Structure 1
Amino acid sequence: MEVEKHEMSGDVACLDIAPVPEGRQRSRFLAVGSYDNTIRVLSLDPDDCMQILSVQSVSAPPESLLFLEVQASIGGEDGADHPASLFLNAGLQTGVLFRTVVDMVTGQLSDSRSRFLGLRAPKLFSINVRGRRAMLCLSSRPWLGYIHQGHFLLTPLSYETLEYAASFSSDQCAEGVVSVAGDALRIFTIERLGETFNETAIPLRYTPRKFVLQPKRKFASAEQMENGDDDDKDDPLSDEQYGYPKAESDKWVSCIRVLDPRSAATTCLLELQDNEAAFSLCTVNFHDKEHGTLLAVGTAKGLQFWPKRSLVTGFIHIYKFVDDGKSLELLHKTQVEGVPLALCQFQGRLLAGIGSVLRLYDLGKKRLLRKCENKLFPNTIVSIHTYRDRIYVGDIQESFHFCKYRRDENQLYIFADDSVPRWLTSSYHVDFDSMAGADKFGNIYFGGCHRMSLTEIEEDPTGGKIKWEQGKLNGAPNKVEEIVQFHIGDVVNSLQKASLIPGGGECIIYGTVMGSVGALLPFTSRDDVDFFSHLEMHLRQDHPPLCGRDHMSYRSAYFPVKDVIDGDLCEQFPTLPLDAQRKIADELDRTPGEILKKLEEVRNKII
């Protein structure tokens, strides 16, 4: 029985009816998406049926619409829940998910947000997750939008591309999803809500030390360096279950592993013999193109730490990739006087940090050939990064040293070092002038060299030789300035620059000894810096830590915190009571919704 009819100005692309509110018999709103890049909200009330309540223009024709009513239960001091909100979600043909709030009374649209999901236009479906309505977005990969701990989260699912989906329930599967994937019908459940990463564990024999990616191959292979106190012997029992047999206390075992990460299969495993242990590795392309990409591995024989540090000798192994990169063949090994803790390719040669000596090697027929070296580093070299003709060397307890190689003189010069002793645990090259590092006391910092002093070095015909002889503080003529300082409170053992989502911003990802993963995202506008600085300041006052310690003094445990805003603290804003949220928002001349939108935008840039 046709009750009402309404002529639309353009062809209808998609539509959706809002869920029926509790205690009512009919829904209030109808959303219609048109090919003229507009979304209209119409009334379904008998008094003003089919009247247009609001119009929203979007950047592309909508492919799918879905109303989603969410009840955000956020426990504040008063224990009150936030009121229910009605969201209108639209999947646009450009692969963007457009999300806006619908006023429950007037139908007006406000607080719109958008996020790029994939190359295909998202199709939206309503499902149930933990007794609440949730949204499944099917683009080039499936995404799930749901409420978790007071936040609306939109996270990708670790599953293959789906065409259609619907909520499904049975005795065996209370909250399932039935879907179409290609020509197959699949039923699956969604587990482990709230987890940020999907991880795959590959068991190894010993403790992994270093790994690199093998370049220019159809598959990505990693060389895992392992080092332990056990030996490999034939045992009828499962070694994985009962553990490997132990060797004597002063014996090392170590191996080099070539791993295909897609199939998790080990394609090559070389056990190091004669009490050798591997400590560093890198891929290197020498000027001699005969062998292509080679693998350099730094090892030590008979290394002991007690009663005093000693070793028999060190080696640098050179391996050639054979069998399409799946196996390794030893070309030769070069004996050195210390432990090569750092290796790096540099202009068709190999840089090695052996104790306090930085040495440049070239490839020979039977061994590596020394070209030049610098013995002026204070303790032990633990990291080497290169860019163009510049070398960034990390010392185990004296932070970074900026070096330059003069090809015409065949000399390595240190033109800048740090005045602050830092016990480095990890490092990463950020740009031409700066390095990111972490020390063993739980600090992350960025150090850079002043551009004016760098220009003087570049234009100095002696390459800084005269200034080096003058020196400052018994060191280099220039000092590394601290750009960023932040106390994590956990020892960082890995730093890497990455973009975790398509279209997301590049950030520095760090991993810690205790198993946490964090990200440092650079701000690109001064307005964002001012906004989050003031938000952090208010949260420090109105939401102090449970243990009663001052937040700023914690983040400045060893050095004063500098130019870093604590995102973990800002993320606690939604957990505040409504009155506290309104108070902070008024101080910032914003509404609580605008602050939540800003937090979501920054979160979506990372993950």
Structure 2
Amino acid sequence: PPPPGAAGGGGGEEDEGEEEEEEDMSHVQSIRGPMPPADGKWASCIRLVDPKNEETLELVELDNGEAALSICTCVFHSRGGEAFVIVGTARNMTLHPRSHQGCFVRVYRLLDQRLQLLHKTEVEEVPLALAEFQGRLLVGIGRTLRIYDLGKHKLLRKAENRSFPNMITSVRAMGDRIYVADIMESVTMVKYRRAENSMVVFADDQSPRTMTCFCLLDYDTVAGADKFGNVFVLRLPASVSDDIDNPTGSRLLWDTGLLNGAANKLDCLVQFHVGETVTSIHRTALVPGGAEAIVYVTITGSVGAFLPSQTKEDKDFFTHLEMHMRQEFDPLTGRDHMSFRSYFFPVKEAADGELCELFSSLPFAAQENIATDLDRTPGEVLKKLEDTRNRLL
């Protein structure tokens, strides 16, 4: 048996190691609060933050199991240029099965960097989507899209559309056009008709998608993502857009649909499977003076970007480079690269930049073979990859 001193010395080292681990863990802050005591119990707050010094200016805690689910700012035309903070809440909500004990749209005023509750309006379903629309408030309440104006004691209902299939999760607006994301049925385009004060669905997607987020690229084009990790770009055909903006005759094209769908369908321009649930997507430039890109973040914390090709030559270059890299590079899991990127829908008009970046890790002989097929030298291929990266970063 080992001498007593040896056992004692080993124990001391273990104790010291445990103490060091405890000291290290003491600096780790939990990013999640305590577990709720039961289903339908929520702890939620509205925080007003100064972005310059990251200080909290105002903290409003919601009581009685009320949870804040959506937020936006809105400038009502009846109140001049004053900006109001709009918050959609639900009380004692359970996700499965979905139920609640009351839903509200809260209106706050910003006074001296403080939030003052003006009033709250009760609605029949969960308000998951809020947006400003031509000096009014656009709210997605369950499967209903509704326009509100500001009243003295509550919001005043002005127009609504109840023809959406499941639940509205997000809304955007540009001009007289409204873009609506449904939790199961992708993106729908809605036209606001001023003369009749009505909202009419005139175009939707051909494929069902479980939407998580989307953003506007231009008046006819949206980029979105679903919970299965698919990123896509949808566009309204140019001919349909002309017919909508310049209707002729007494009956409009969007008045007649097929199988409860819209009369017009959106074209899918880009399709790509990223492999993780995308939680947010935006059109932006990462650095001042940099090229605009579609930037997305995922549920695991990854950040990715889709950079548009400037010329047809750039598009052909990356398409052929990706094709060669699929043959030269074997994935760690042994799975076919194209099958993975086409997991739910066939990959379309998108090249995998991560795969192309692995060109520098290939043997020089393989680099020469690929570069020869591309009518370039290995150095020119690497320079092209670097220039593309610098456009974004």
Q: TM-score by structure 2 length?
A: 0.90
* 1:434–1:290 distance in 2 versus 1, CA, 3 Å: closer
| Per-residue deviation, residues 320-354 of structure 1 (Å, max 9, x unmatched) | 1111xx22111110110010000000000000000
Give the superposition deviation at 1:503.
Answer: 2.0
* 1:247–1:524 distance in 2 versus 1, CA, 3 Å: closer
Query: Which residue of 1 is the match for residue 315 of structure 2?
Result: 529
1:444 equivalent to 2:231? Answer yes
Give the superposition deviation at 1:312.
Answer: 1.3
1:494 to 265, 280, 293: 280
Query: Which residue of 1 is the match for residue 19 of structure 2?
Result: none
Q: Which runs of 5+ in 1 are unaligned?
A: 1-237
- In the alignment, is the contact (CA less than 8 A) between 1:385 and 1:392 conserved in 2? yes
Aligned counterparts of 2:33 and 2:238: Cα–Cα separation in 1 = 54
Larger radius of gyration: 1
- In the alignment, is the contact (CA less than 8 A) between 1:447 and 1:482 conserved in 2? yes
1:309 equivalent to 2:95? Answer no
1:263 equivalent to 2:49? Answer no
* 1:242–1:295 distance in 2 versus 1, CA, 3 Å: closer
* 1:415–1:244 distance in 2 versus 1, CA, 3 Å: closer
Higher helix share: 2
Which of 288-297 and 548-557 deviates more? 288-297
Query: Which residue of 1 is the match for residue 389 of structure 2?
Result: 603
Aligned counterparts of 1:297 and 1:391: Cα–Cα separation in 2 = 20
Query: Which residue of 2 is the match for residue 351 of structure 1?
Result: 138
Question: Residue 211 of structure 2 aligns to which amino acid in structure 1?
Answer: L
1:518 equivalent to 2:291? Answer no
Give the superposition deviation at 1:247.
Answer: 4.7
1:298 to 65, 77, 88: 88
CA RMSD of aligned residues (A): 2.0
Alignment of 1:450-529 (within 5 A): 450-460=237-247, 466-529=252-315
Aligned counterparts of 2:128 and 2:227: Cα–Cα separation in 1 = 17
Query: Which residue of 1 is the match for residue 7 of structure 2?
Result: none
Q: Identity of aligned pairs, percent?
A: 50
* 1:244–1:574 distance in 2 versus 1, CA, 3 Å: closer
Aligned counterparts of 2:229 and 2:239: Cα–Cα separation in 1 = 31
Give the superposition deviation at 1:302.
Answer: 1.7
Aligned counterparts of 1:582 and 1:517: Cα–Cα separation in 2 = 32
Question: Residue 377 of structure 2 aligns to which amino acid in structure 1?
Answer: T
1:397 equivalent to 2:187? Answer no
1:378 to 165, 173, 188: 165
Of structures 1 and 2, the one with the larger relative CO (CA 8 A, separation 6+) is 2
Question: Residue 329 of structure 2 aligns to which amino acid in structure 1?
Answer: H
Question: Residue 311 of structure 1 aligns to which amino acid in structure 2?
Answer: H
Query: Which residue of 1 is the match for residue 210 of structure 2?
Result: 423
Question: Residue 456 of structure 1 aligns to which amino acid in structure 2?
Answer: D
Secondary structure of 2:348's counterpart equals: coil
Aligned counterparts of 1:283 and 1:409: Cα–Cα separation in 2 = 26
Secondary structure of 1:504's counterpart equals: coil
Secondary structure of 1:528's counterpart equals: helix
Secondary structure of 1:571's counterpart equals: helix
* 1:518–1:246 distance in 2 versus 1, CA, 3 Å: closer
Question: Residue 64 of structure 2 aligns to which amino acid in structure 1?
Answer: D
Give the superposition deviation at 1:239.
Answer: 12
Aligned counterparts of 1:290 and 1:450: Cα–Cα separation in 2 = 37
* 1:526–1:327 distance in 2 versus 1, CA, 3 Å: same
Which of 565-574 and 259-268 deviates more? 259-268
**How many aligned residue pairs are there?**
367
1:320 to 97, 103, 109: 109
1:278 equivalent to 2:68? Answer yes
Give the superposition deviation at 1:246.
Answer: 5.0
Give the superposition deviation at 1:469.
Answer: 3.9
Secondary structure of 1:510's counterpart equals: strand
Q: Which runs of 5+ in 2 are unaligned?
A: 1-26
* 1:548–1:240 distance in 2 versus 1, CA, 3 Å: closer
- In the alignment, is the contact (CA less than 8 A) between 1:472 and 1:478 conserved in 2? no
- In the alignment, is the contact (CA less than 8 A) between 1:291 and 1:320 conserved in 2? no
Aligned counterparts of 1:304 and 1:503: Cα–Cα separation in 2 = 46
